[in-house]
Amino acid sequence: MEPDRQEAEYDQARAAVAALLRDVMRKADLPDVIVKVVIKAANDPIPRRRYTAGNASRMANLLRRFATA
- Is residue 51 within 8 A of residue 40, CB to CB? The reply is yes
Position 62 in a domain = yes
The confidence score (pLDDT) of residue 69 equals 57
Asked if residue 3 is part of any domain, the answer here is no
Average pLDDT of the chain to the nearest whole number = 87
**5: helix, strand or coil:** coil
For the residues 34-61, what does the mean pLDDT come to?
A: 90
How many domains does the structure of the chain reveal?
Answer: 1
* Rounded Cα gap, residues 42 and 49, in angstroms: 12
pLDDT of residue 24: 85
Within 1-69, strands assigned E span none
Pick 37 or 62 by higher pLDDT.
37
Domain range for 29 is 8-66
Task: In whole angstroms, give the CA distance from residue 34 to residue 41.
Answer: 11
